[in-house]
Amino acid sequence: MARAVKRKTGAAAVRLPAELTQARRFSKTRSAQSSALLEDYVELIADLLTTGGEARPTDVARRLGVSHATAIKTIARLKREGLAPGRPYRGVFLTQEGQKLAARVRTRHRLVVDMLLALGIPAEAAEADAEGIEHHASEATLKAFAQFLQSREQN
C-alpha cells in the first residue's frame, strides 16, 4: 500500500505524496511536455495560414526561435501524427485533425491569458506565461478558470 512519507529538512518538515500519486503527477508533466511541442507548432501554423495564407518552415523556425533543421524535424513529426499532410516543396498545411487541435490550443491559450490578466498580471507577462501553463493545466483547472471569469462578467 502506497503511503505518504514525511521527512525533515532543517526546521521544516516536508510531506511527500504517496509514490503512485507522485509518479502519476510527473508522468502527466512529461506527457504534457511532449505534446506541448506539437501544440505550439499547430497553433503557430494555423495562425500563419490565417494571417498570411501560408506557413513556410523558415517562418515557423524564426517565430519559434528554433533552427530550420529543428522545424523540419518537428514538421515531419506532425506529418507522422496525422496533423499535417505531406506536400513536398510546399509550405505546411494542417489536416482537419491538426486544425481541430490548433483551435483547442488557441482556446486554452486565450482562457489562461484572460485568467492571468484578471489576476492583474501585465499583458506581455500573461501572454508569455500562458505559453507554458496552457499545456499543463488540467481540464478541471481550465473549467474553474472559465467559471471564475464568467462569474466576474456577471457581477
In one-letter notation, the amino acid at residue 79 is: K
Share of the chain above pLDDT 90, in %: 64
Q: What is the dihedral of CA 137, 140, 146, 148, to 10 degrees?
A: -110
- Structural domain tally of the chain? 1
155 or 44, higher pLDDT: 44
- CATH assignment at residue 96: 1.10.10.10
Over residues 10-22, the mean pLDDT reads 76
Q: Is residue 96 part of a domain?
A: yes
HSE-up of residue 53 (Cα within 13 Å, Cβ side): 0
**Full domain range(s) for residue 112:** 34-154
Q: Which pLDDT tens digit goes with each residue over 45-93?
A: 999 999 999 999 999 999 999 999 999 999 999 999 999 997 778 899 9
Predicted TM-score (pTM) of this structure: 0.76
